[in-house]
Structures are given as C-alpha cells and as structure tokens.
Structure 1
Amino acid sequence: MKLLSIVIPCYNSEAYMANCIHSLLTGGEKVEIIIVDDGSKDRTGEIADEFARRYPTIIKAIHQENGGHGEAVNTGIRNATGLYFKVVDSDDWVCISAFREILKTLMELAVEREPLDMLLSNFVYEKEGAKRRKVMNYRGVFPQNRIFTWEDVKFLRKGRYILMHSVIFRTRLLRECNLELPGHTFYVDNIFVYQPLPHVKTIYYLNVDFYRYYIGREDQSVNEKVMISRIDQQLRVNSLMINEYKSAYFILRENRKLRRYMRNYLEIIMAVSSIMLIRSGTEENLKKKQELWEYLKQKDARTYYILKLGVLGQTMNLPGRSGRKIAEAAYRLARMAVGFN
C-alpha cells in the first residue's frame, strides 16, 4: 500500500501539468500519483501516458469522458490505494522541502493504533503580478506537531477556513462518508472539504508552506467574470453545503466548535454567492440571491436567522442600489486583503 495517493484532475492542461507532476515525483515510492485526463482536447492525455510509462510504479494515467473537476476527483478516490488522499490541481504545485516534511509526518503517524483522519498544512497564493505572496497559515488556531481533536481548536476567524489546498484526508474516511462530488460542476472543492468534516475525529497541523495555489489565468474558475458566468454551478454547490450542514445536525449538536466552524464556512460561501449575484447586475440574478437565502430559511430557519443577522449576512442583504454598492465595496476590500481571485 502507498502512503499517499495524489490525484491531479486535468482538462486541457498540456501547458502546465508537467510542472505539477515533477514537483510531486519528489515524493518517490511512498506516493501514488493519479493523473485523470477528463476528456481533454489537447495533448494532456499523451503527456499523462508518457509520465505513466516513465514512472510505472508511481504514476497511473486514467482517461475518461469529460465529467468536470468533481468527477475527476471521484475517479481519484475510487482508484486510490494510498492510506491518505490529496488533490493537487494541474496548474498548481508543491514545495519540495515541505513535501518531505509532510511525508515524514504521515509515515510517523501511520503506525498509530488509530490512523489520523486529517492532516493540515499551509498554502501560498501564487498570484500573477502580486508583489508579495499571501500565505494562509493556521498558527495560533490549531495545536502544532501533535494529534488533536475539534475541542482543542481555537476560534477560526472568517476567511481563515480550511480549503482543499490545505487538507489531506484519510482515504477510507472519504469512502466511509460516501463523498461523491457532482459532475460538470465547478467549485466542488468546497464540498470536498466540507462534507467529511463531521466524520473527522483526529487532526494534525504541520506548519509548513506546502501547496502553491496559482492565480492568474483568465479562464481560471476563481476569475470573477468566470464565476459570474458559472453562477448556477456556484449556487448548486452552495445548496449542497446547506443540505450537508442540515444532515449533520445530530453530530454537530454534540460538537460546538465544529458546528460553529461549519456554520462560519457556510456563511462565507453564502456571501460569495450573494456578491457574485450582485456583481452580475441583472434582475434575474438578484432574484436568485433572494431565492438562495429563502432556500436556507426553508432548510434550517435557525441557521438562516443567525447568518442573516451576522455582519456578512446583513451586508449582502442591504436593500436597494445603495445597499448593493456597500456590499460591493466590502467585497473589494476583502479581495485586496486576501487576494483570493
């Protein structure tokens, strides 16, 4: 069995996937790299096959009809043989020295009587044209260099939540919680992180800048214009997260800190959906914003009122054109501070 399975979802990635793969090959035989060619129209499949021929004990190349990022991750989970599981997008890469620390730590933890459920590390926004790199770390929030539970977690402020870039899950846990991401849908990385959380009992935080998250391509899913054009996919993900929060009620009722964290995460996604609908400037999308909040109210009235009366909820629901301008100003400030798109 491999220690760590890493899936690389690829669609028309010929221009940059090699950089990603080369960074992961430094993990050697402890690592299984699963390249999923998701119906690409360029040389992505050929490149994947060539790497698989050169590194047959490390790399698998899987070809499938286009199903979207989520279906590529699903394929990775189904084919993974590693004890742990990681997703690395084809335009991103990892820091080699941090990778060594990650693997060393996972090796040490693998001998525990109960395998670790989730390992966290830092990630770096590699934003094109930015003078400084923004590092998302969790110092002061999670205990370092030891196994801990949700009860040991300090308050996670909004904007400092766990993303796909920072997480490694136990593979079996993903299967046991029946994680199945929707096909032909962007932004499913939020579900990938969100749905397993109620099943996570043990956590480990390694304070290394491991994942390098590239931002800069015009066709990238986090580009604002692209997000607005795909707003229905964002809304689908948002609705599924509402459903997941509701379905985990009995688990979260006994776990106050995890409940608050998942509610805050949902609040952030509600705000992202709302501001993109506002930024689109159409009456149709303003109506969809109202429908989104109404959907939350129907599913979970208590959470609806908590979020609606919070700072983000109030800002995103200020009435009239002047209210929408205030919401957009708040978004621009957050964007400058965090650099997320």
Structure 2
Amino acid sequence: MDKLLSIVVPVYNVEQYIRMCLDSLIVSDELMDQLEVIVVNDGTPDRSAIIAKEYEKKYPQTFRVIDKENGGHGSAFNTGLSNANGKYVRFLDSDDWLDKENLSKLMYLIGSSDIDLIINPLVYYHENTGKTNQLSVSNIEYGKVYKTDSFDFIKAGNRPNLTIFHNCTYKTDLLKPYLPLFAEGCYYDDVVLWLAPIAISKNFVVNEYPIYYYRVDRPGQSISQEKLKQHIADHTTVNASCVHFFKKCPIQNELTRLYLRKVFSGMITFQIENISRCGYQNSKRMYKEYLPILKEGEPYYDKKRRQKVFEILPFPLAYVLYRVYDIVKFKDKILH
C-alpha cells in the first residue's frame, strides 16, 4: 500500500525516551498501513537502536530502522527525508512525542486533501515541572486553506519559526529537491525550515489541535543557554545553509519575499549580536569567518544597525562600543 505519511525519527543516546516516542506513533491498524516511521540510527552508542528494532520487528509494515555512521542531527534528518516514501513527511525528535489521537486526525485530513503545508500548534512539556503550555497562532483562521503567495505573514504577526518541523507536516516532494535540506555537523540544523516551507508551498492550513509535544528544560538540550554559548559558531553554518537555499529557490512573490527577508534579517542580526559577545579575540575571529556568508547573503536580508557599525568602524572600536552598550542595556544577555 502507498504510504500517506512518513515520520522521520533520528536516534542518538535516547534510550530513556525512545519507547515513549515510538509508542506515540502506534495508531489504528487501518492507519498503520498508511504510515511509515523511519528511525535513523545515527551511530548511537546506547540501546536506542536495539529498542527501535523491536518496533521494526513487531510492525514491519510501518517501522523501518536505517543504520548509519554518526553524522549529527541534521545528517539523520536528511537521510530520513531522502528515504521517505510518504506523500507527506513529518520530523520527530526521539525525546519528544506526538499526540496519538490528533496524529490520527491529521492522517485522515491529508488522506482527503492536497494541501502543501499543514501547521498544528506546538505544546511545550517542561521536564522539570511536568507542566505544559501550548503555542498557538494569531490572525489565522483555523481550518481555512490560504494561498501562501497572497497571505501577509508580516501583518499576521506570528513567530518567525511558525513553520519549524515541530509544528508542520510537509509535502515530501516539495522538500526533497532541496536535499541536503538540513545543515549538517552543527546544532540548530533545522532553522532553514523557518524559511523553506513558505517559499515552496502554494497553500497552507492551520489546525486547532496540537500534535507535537516538545520536551524542554532537559539538561544538555540544544536550546539551553549553556549550549548556545558553546555553539555560537554553528549559527554561521546554519545561516550559510539558508543562503544556499535562497540561491536554489528564487522568490518571485513580493509578499513572500518581504516576509522571508524580514525573518532572515533577524537571523543575521542575532548571530552578529552573539559574535560580538564572545570576547575580543573570539569575536574578531568569528566575525572574520562570518563575513563571506554576510557578503553572499546580501541579496536576501536588510542590514541592521549592529552590522552597519561593524562595517563602518574599525573592529576594535565597534567591539568596544557594543560591549558598553550590552553591559548597560542587556546584562542578562552577556555570554562572557
């Protein structure tokens, strides 16, 4: 039977969580035949892959384990996407899980529609308290199909990461031409999905019911402040992957172009701010490494104040200026 939905699950050192993750994907027999779960074993040293293969043995029509050498989160996602056979694809981190009932609702929806991009609210699960909070969208009518090129995302005022993988189900054939889509060998490899789905989809719908439960406040998580400090340079790699996407996918529609330009400008500014807070020698080195990306990406973003200051003034003076500015205004953001 043709697969309706592929779910890509990268696995590395998640023995504690993987059963909960994979159990959340076991739906009715009817839907299991239409579901493909691709578990990508990214060279995990623990028992995660062994556990995943138990599901492959028990549900061979649905679960498939792909073993590969360790290449990182983005590499595992790219491997899963390249092997996906479903009409649609979702991505799921193996320490998170999906709402089983709402996953079934989603599958019935995509079985009777031809929408390019389907967005569902994200639920944060706080590991340290057990509490949840749902991130919803604004100024978008639930269940209504919108044409992407005539929708004003800027006016709607939603978060710029509206289309990240936690929220979305994508048409597989729309993503595959841009493989390797995810940045590899770095953290924050999925940031390109802040941009790509809006650029390549003709229409989208937002549903009211949440599907993805995102575990946060876990020690060592990539979104923690500690990891942000350690992996500032990875944002340069991620921004480079966004530039490469833009070069492969010229944006013709003006509303779409303005929105993506706004989002990417924010990414550029965020990284320049991070670099300027890393100590003089590190900042100087990292800014020098970032310059080729800034030059190559100039057609796709607007220069903000901090970047202009670094371009106009000698680096030592610009660095001192913004160190003073940060200390006065943003003490809580100082990384070093």
TM-score, scaled to structure 2: 0.83
Is the 2:8–2:37 Cα contact (8 Å) retained in structure 1? Answer: yes
- For the residue of structure 2 that corresponds to 1:165, the secondary structure is coil
| Partner of residue 234, structure 1 | 235
Cα distance change of structure 1 residues 35 and 247 upon mapping to structure 2, 3 Å threshold: closer
Q: Distance in 2 between matches of 1:193 and 1:13?
A: 26
Describe the shift of the 1:286–1:79 C-alpha distance in structure 2 as closer, same or farther (beyond 3 A). same
Within the alignment, does 1:9 sit opposite 2:7 as a pair?
Answer: no
Alignment match, 2:312: none
Contact kept in structure 2, 1:10 and 1:90, CA below 8 Å: yes
Q: TM-score, normalised by structure 1?
A: 0.82
Q: What root-mean-square deviation, in Å, do the aligned CA atoms of Structure 1 and Structure 2 show?
A: 2.9
Matched, 1:50 2:57: no
Distance 1:3 1:272 in 2: 38
- C-alpha distance in structure 2 between counterparts of 1:90 and 1:275, whole Å: 31
Taking the aligned partners of 1:258 and 1:123, their CA distance within structure 2 comes to 23
Partner of 1:134: 133
Q: Where does residue 78 of structure 1 map in the other structure?
A: 82
Distance 2:125 2:270 in 1: 21
- Tell me the number of residue pairs that the alignment of Structure 1 and Structure 2 aligns: 319
Aligned partner of 1:161 in structure 2 is 161
Percent identity reads 24
Question: 1:308: how far off?
Answer: 0.5
Judged with a 3 Å threshold, the aligned counterparts in structure 2 of structure 1 residues 100 and 283 are, in CA distance, closer, same or farther, namely: same
Cα deviation for residue 239 of structure 1 reads: 2.3
Deviations 1:57-98 (A, max 9, x none): 110011111011111111111221110000000011112232
Alignment correspondent of 1:40: 44
Residue 297 of structure 1 deviates from its aligned partner by: 4.7
Aligned to 1:148: 146
Given that 2:78 and 2:179 are in contact with CA atoms closer than 8 Å, whether structure 1 keeps it comes out as: no
5 Å-filtered alignment, 1:1-341, equals 1-26=2-27, 28-109=32-113, 115-129=114-128, 133-140=132-139, 142-150=140-148, 151-154=150-153, 155-157=155-157, 159-162=159-162, 163-245=164-246, 248=249, 251-252=250-251, 254-279=252-277, 281-288=278-285, 290-291=287-288, 294-295=291-292, 297-301=294-298, 306-309=302-305, 319-325=321-327, 328-329=330-331
Q: Which structure carries more helix by proportion?
A: 1
Distance 1:132 1:313 in 2: 42
- The alignment partner of 2:207 has SS state of strand
Q: Return the alpha-carbon distance in structure 2 between the equivalents of residues 135 and 309 of structure 1.
A: 34
- Are residues 107 and 223 of structure 1, via their aligned partners in 2, closer, same or farther at CA, if it must alter by over 3 Å? same
Secondary structure of the residue aligned to 2:120 is strand
Who is 1:337 aligned against?
A: none
SS at match of 1:24: coil
SS in 2 for 1:2: coil
What CA deviation, in whole Å up to 9, does each residue of 1:105-155 have, x standing for no partner? 11121xxxxx32211111012223358633222231x34313221213442
Q: Tell me, in whole angstroms, the C-alpha distance in 2 between the residues paired with 1:91 and 1:225.
A: 19
Residues 143, 153 of structure 1: 8 Å contact kept: no
Task: Give 5+ residue unaligned stretches, structure 1.
Answer: 110-114, 333-341
CA contact (8 A) 2:78 2:182 kept: yes
Amino acid corresponding to residue 321 of structure 1 in structure 2: R
> Take 2:22 and 2:89, find their aligned partners in 1: how far apart are those partners?
16
